[in-house]
Amino acid sequence: MPKVKETEILIVGGGPAGLSAASAAANLGASVLVLERDGKPGGQLIKQTHKFFGSKKQYAGDRGYQIGDLLIEQCGNNPNVEVWTDTTALGIYEDGVVTAEGQAKHLKINPKKIIVATGASEKMIAFPNNDLPGIYGAGAVQTLMNVHGIVPGKRVLMIGAGNIGLIVSYQLMQAGVEIAAIIEAAPTIGGYLVHASKIQRAGVPILTSHTITEAYGDESVAGAIICKLDESWQPVSGSEQDLKVDVICLAVGLSPLTELCFQADCQMKYVSELSGHVPVRNEYLETTRPGLYVAGDVSGVEEASSAMVEGRLAGISAACSLGYGEDIAPKLQAEALAELSELRAGPAGQKTLRGIMNLMDKGGAVC
């Protein structure tokens, strides 16, 4: 009989949300197991070389990878936390058993509570020849450069002027790579202006209301045709431009990675402000499947700062429901909720708040 691993709290995903959840729950006394697909935990933080905004409590001023190291250290110092790296969750079953592949084995884990912190995946757009070598997601480019020290090419077309598109463009420039242009289908730049102006000052054009119509090249990308879009998002004929580039980088948004929530039969709802189908959950991040919590991008795409606070909130709530730290949990939960409100007070946070309101609203397309 294969052994089933018992644990109090299972956390799927060792990114900013998962690691924060792990140390918060462990600090209250719960024993925690974290599953991390990669060889090193930290999630997207390990490749983020930019400094964070926000307040001191959310590590403002520190660079992403430094925050990642800090979270790893916090978990490493806590004997209640066990982290299984190179371990990929594969499914969740009716009896609450979660399966995973790791250590060349099909692992089975039977937790009392589950926190899903699987993050998000990059969106793809369709255009002719989008399968040519040289076309990357922005996350892949960031991994190549900041984790492996490899530049993806010489001249890049960046698609998407949200924060990821802007930050990755700037990091490419720092690595000596030329950015031919950043194009954005929306009429306005989605990311923070502080990032956009740094890039524009260096002479890189950010073309709003522009899209890619095709990539071309024989063996790999040799260039791209871009064009202008009118108010109804239709291509303006005659506005085509030919850009000679060897890399096309897609930063067109993220989708919450919710397969586990769907499998667990959580009630799901499509909320565009949260970037896709997300599980319906209460204030303390528990879904409609009792004992299953969510935190971070899987509960709605946002930033690492809020993912860390959500992780902490879910960790405290899960531990408290097992009887740990019942005296101080309410105070810690209130603190985390206050921090989330503070983080979402800015203009970017308004969208998230609208999304959460839609999510909590009983009406709408629930499935």
Partner 1 sequence: MGKIKDRLTPIGEFVPQPDDDMIICRCEEITKGEIRQAIHDGMFTLTEIRRFLRAGMGLCQGQTCTRLVKGMIARELGISPLEVEPAAARAPMRPIKMIVLGNEGKES
Q: How far is the CB of 260 from partner 1 (least distance, A)?
A: 7
Contact (CB, 8 A) for 68 and 16: yes
Contact track, partner 1, 70-109, x by CB under 8 A: ------------------xxxxxx-----x-x--xxx---
CA distance 107 to 129: 40
Residue choice 66, 74, 78, 130 for contact with partner 1 (CB under 8 A)? 130
User: Any idea what DSSP says for residue 286?
Assistant: B
Q: How far is the CB of 90 from partner 1 (least distance, A)?
A: 4
CA distance 261 to 293: 9
Using CB under 8 A as the binding rule, whether residue 5 contacts partner 1 is answered as: no
CA distance 22 to 78: 9
Residue choice 2, 39, 79, 238 for contact with partner 1 (CB under 8 A)? 2
Q: How far is the CB of 36 from partner 1 (least distance, A)?
A: 13
Closest to 289 (Cα-Cα) out of 321, 264, 270, 313? 264
Give the nearer residue to partner 1 in terms of CB position, either 104 or 194.
104
Q: Which of the stretches 195-203, 250-258, 286-294, 320-328 binds partner 1 when contact is defined by CB under 8 A?
A: 250-258
Give the nearer residue to partner 1 in terms of CB position, either 62 or 273.
273
Give the nearer residue to partner 1 in terms of CB position, either 140 or 151.
140
Q: Which two tokens stand for residue 9?
A: 């709290």
CA distance 153 to 18: 33
Q: Which two tokens stand for residue 350?
A: 């308004």
CA distance 113 to 246: 47
Q: What amino acid is encoded at 71 in this protein? A: L
Q: Which of residues 338-367 bind partner 1 (CB under 8 A)?
A: 365, 367
Give the nearer residue to partner 1 in terms of CB position, either 141 or 189.
141
Q: What is the Cα gyration radius of the chain?
A: 21
CA distance 314 to 33: 14
Phi-psi region of 314 (alpha: psi -120 to 50; beta: other; left: phi over 0): alpha
Give the nearer residue to partner 1 in terms of CB position, either 88 or 110.
88
Residue recorded with tokens 């064009």: 227
Contact track, partner 1, 275-294, x by CB under 8 A: --x-----------------
Give the nearer residue to partner 1 in terms of CB position, either 132 or 243.
132
Which residues of this protein are in contact with partner 1, per CB under 8 A? Answer: 1-2, 37, 88-93, 99, 101, 104-106, 121, 123-131, 255, 257-260, 262-263, 268, 270, 277, 365, 367
